[in-house]
Amino acid sequence: MKKENVVARKGREAMAKAGGEWKRAAKILRGWMRADTKLYREMMDPLVDQAIHSLLRSLTGDERRASLRVRALPTLTGRPTANPDPAFSDGSLRRLAARHLAGLLAFPLPGNGNLLLGDAVRAQVSEAADFYGIQAHGNARRGRWLRLVAGALPDGRRKVRDALDVKKLDALRQQANAEVGEADVAEAS
């Protein structure tokens, strides 16, 4: 049996306690996080790690350099490339490939403290995939809903609160849910 993501479980509990009202659920979950250091760390550590990882990769440019030289990597396997880059010897390509691999293995997984992809086992990687899948699905639903809201506004000057009532907003949200598909868990819409 797969271990459930603590953050996702607490999110569902907050939604249930709030009667499905996501703003109330957010306040409840925020309160629980402030009262429970472990829950706070479970949710925030992966986000902080990802931000740090992203910042450092953007500063070093390793990701960009690696993607620019990807066409030369087959020389590491002994297969010649059609257009090898003369600026890179096999030694520098090996170093580049090793740095790229190290960067991939250093990807922080959510919900597992400071666990990196390279140190994870199948169940931990699956749990991380589920975490991102749930977020992606919810973001797709929210994105579709906001596109429907934007399309329902009569002009570019009127605010949503002045042009659309709660009934219309909820109908658009339900339409977005139907178009994208309901999430497996109760989450903020």
Q: What is the pTM of this model?
A: 0.43
Helix (H, G, I), strand (E, B) or coil at 108: strand
Residue keyed to tokens 């749930």: 134
Helix (H, G, I), strand (E, B) or coil at 77: helix
Amino acid identity at 23: K
Tens digit of each residue's pLDDT (9 = 90 or more) over 117-126: 888 899 888 8
Tens digit of each residue's pLDDT (9 = 90 or more) over 90-115: 566 666 677 777 777 888 888 767 88
Across the chain, mean pLDDT equals 76
Local structure of residue 107 (DSSP, 8 states): P
Nearest to 7 by CA among 125, 134, 117: 134
